A and B are shown apart, each in its own frame.
Chain A
């Protein structure tokens, strides 16, 4: 198969649509007969990334590249950025609002989940501008 690229838009604050990119990518990987365990890992990481844009940023988009060997995902947002990435990566750290916590988000587990479920994980962020998360997972 050749390389494939997909793009999804994410709206900050719109929780009702959170997960649409993850569910689309899950379907694509299933059609490509990717191992179910690998699909699970990709989906966990992508969902958490998608929700982080919804919960913490203004808007963003997701670029997904799939080739024979791996899936690469970039989540690029315009938002407040992350002042201290090491701190944000710690399990339990969250700046989520009370309203977001009430919905069961804001446990501070999203970024650690993303790192755990990918083979390569990088964050770049500029305060007041936005955040880009890049992650790759081997497909075999």
Chain B
């Protein structure tokens, strides 16, 4: 499923990386530990996290993740959004908690 469709169905805010909205999402990964994501996430996954600093983009782009979803109403800062635009890697956001967000994404990808 494309990032665009996930953003619509889960009513996520698209903060940046609009040019990557057609990235294909093949799964999700939930973690707030960067070296856990580095070691264990897979290409094409949407990463759900509460970390919103610039290093999330380094990790997401190095791992070829499809998108980053920020929970709890957290917003990315300017530098993070610029990096997201450069990498065509969308940062999305929701006011919902991690549990609800992961559950909704799982249901969407595994109907």
Interface set of A (CB-CB < 8 Å, partner B): 15-16, 18-19, 22-23, 26, 40, 43-44, 47-48, 51, 103-105, 107, 109-110, 112-113, 116
Number of A-B contacts (CB under 8 A): 64
Complex: A107 Cα to B62 Cα, angstroms: 19
Extra contacts, 13 of them, besides A15-B55, A16-B54, A22-B58 (Cβ < 8 A), are A19-B58, A19-B62, A23-B58, A23-B62, A43-B63, A44-B39, A44-B63, A48-B35, A48-B38, A51-B35, A105-B35, A109-B35, A109-B36
Complex: A132 Cα to B29 Cα, angstroms: 32
The answer to whether B62 touches A15, judged by C-beta atoms less than 8 angstroms apart, is no
Report if A26-B62 is in contact (Cβ < 8 Å); known contacts: A15-B55, A19-B55, A103-B51: yes
What band does the interface of chain B fall in when counting residues whose beta carbon is under 8 Å from A?
Answer: 20 to 34
The answer to whether B62 touches A22, judged by C-beta atoms less than 8 angstroms apart, is yes
The answer to whether A105 touches B34, judged by C-beta atoms less than 8 angstroms apart, is yes
B32 at the interface (CB under 8 A from A): yes
**Main secondary structure on chain A at its contact with chain B?**
helix
The answer to whether A18 touches B58, judged by C-beta atoms less than 8 angstroms apart, is yes
